[in-house]
């Protein structure tokens, strides 16, 4: 039996990390963990309790209520990946709303939130054979991952992808709002004190600005298969 590895995929928002990570996990028969969904679910819980909103962030209340947040992924065979459950409620759709996107960077910057979720993520991936995407997987969660990929694309390209996704889902949004959200999240993710977004020294940088979904997937799949072969040689 070949050795299984840990694959960490980091990068900026709307670079397609989750999409490629899901396909990669399915192709390799690995476990996929969407860490962004975990941060979004915590954010949704805090928004519902009015601890975070536009112009408001009650850090003390968020920290105090963290023990009441229960997260799990439930695999959907038809879709081929796990849905996010918050306190036994399927919130996969709700966590993708623009309102959550506008608040998630603020909540995820709180050290106590990151520690709770990093501990859970490390537990999920301790047996290897996992593809995990997020902002700090290769630098904090799994600094010893055998393969680290850092995905990037131009700001405008990422905003257009996000805008098309939201419009395709029926959301009423303006491109300018989405572009501002992408820029704001980039700034907050890159400048936060705890686990800022950065490319690990040993990561493979992957710019997909001019690549379609299938083309980028095939390139990343080859990178992964080459690394697995190297580990097993």
SS3 for the chain is CCCCCEEEEEECCCCCHHHHHHHHHHHHCCEEEEHHHHHHHHHHHHHHCCCEECCEECHHHHHHHHHHCCEEEEEECCCCEEEEEECCEECCCHHHCHHHHHHHHHHHCCHHHHHHHHHHHHHHCCCCCEEEEECCHHHHHCCCCCEEEEEECCHHHHHHHHHHHHHHCCCCCCHHHHHHHHHHHHHHHHHCCCCCCCCCCCCEEEECCCCCHHHHHHHHHHHHHHHHHHHCC
Q: Quick one: pLDDT at residue 210?
A: 93
Q: Quick one: pLDDT at residue 58?
A: 97
Q: Quick one: pLDDT at residue 38?
A: 95
Q: Quick one: pLDDT at residue 225?
A: 97
Q: Quick one: pLDDT at residue 72?
A: 92
Give phi and psi for 11, each to the nearest 5: 150, 180
Rounded to two decimals, what is the model's pTM? Answer: 0.85
Q: Quick one: pLDDT at residue 76?
A: 78
- Walk along the chain (233 residues) and give the pLDDT tens digit of each residue: 689 999 999 999 899 998 999 999 999 999 899 999 999 999 999 999 999 998 899 999 999 999 999 999 887 777 677 889 999 999 999 999 989 999 999 999 999 999 999 999 999 998 899 999 999 999 999 999 999 999 999 999 999 999 999 999 888 899 999 999 999 999 999 998 888 999 999 999 999 999 998 999 999 999 999 999 999 99
Say what the alpha-carbon torsion angle 98, 100, 106, 112 is, to the nearest 10 degrees.
-160
Task: Confirm if 41 and 91 have CB atoms less than 8 A apart.
Answer: yes
First to last CA, the chain: 12
């Amino acid at each position: 039996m070949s050795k299984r590895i840990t694959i960490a995929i980091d990068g900026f928002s709307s670079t397609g990390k989750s999409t490629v990570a899901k396909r990669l996990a399915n192709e390799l028969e690995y476990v996929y963990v969407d860490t962004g969904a975990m941060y979004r679910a915590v954010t949704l819980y805090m928004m519902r309790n009015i601890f975070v909103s536009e112009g408001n962030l009650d850090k003390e209340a968020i920290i105090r209520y963290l023990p009441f947040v229960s997260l799990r992924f439930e695999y959907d065979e038809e879709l081929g990946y796990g849905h996010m459950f918050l306190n036994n409620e399927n919130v996969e759709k709700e966590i993708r709303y623009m309102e959550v996107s506008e608040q998630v960077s603020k909540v995820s910057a709180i050290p106590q939130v990151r520690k709770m979720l990093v501990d859970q993520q490390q537990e999920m991936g301790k047996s290897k054979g996992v593809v995990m995407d997020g902002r700090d997987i290769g630098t904090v969660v799994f600094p010893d991952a055998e393969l680290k990929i850092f995905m990037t694309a131009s700001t405008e390209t990422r905003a257009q992808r996000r805008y098309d996704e939201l419009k395709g889902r029926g959301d009423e949004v303006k491109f300018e709002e989405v572009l501002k959200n992408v820029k704001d999240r980039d700034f907050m993710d890159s400048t936060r004190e705890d686990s800022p977004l950065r490319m690990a020294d040993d990561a493979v940088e992957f710019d997909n600005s001019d690549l379609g979904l299938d083309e980028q997937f095939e390139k990343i799949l080859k990178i992964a298969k080459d690394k697995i072969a190297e580990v097993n040689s």
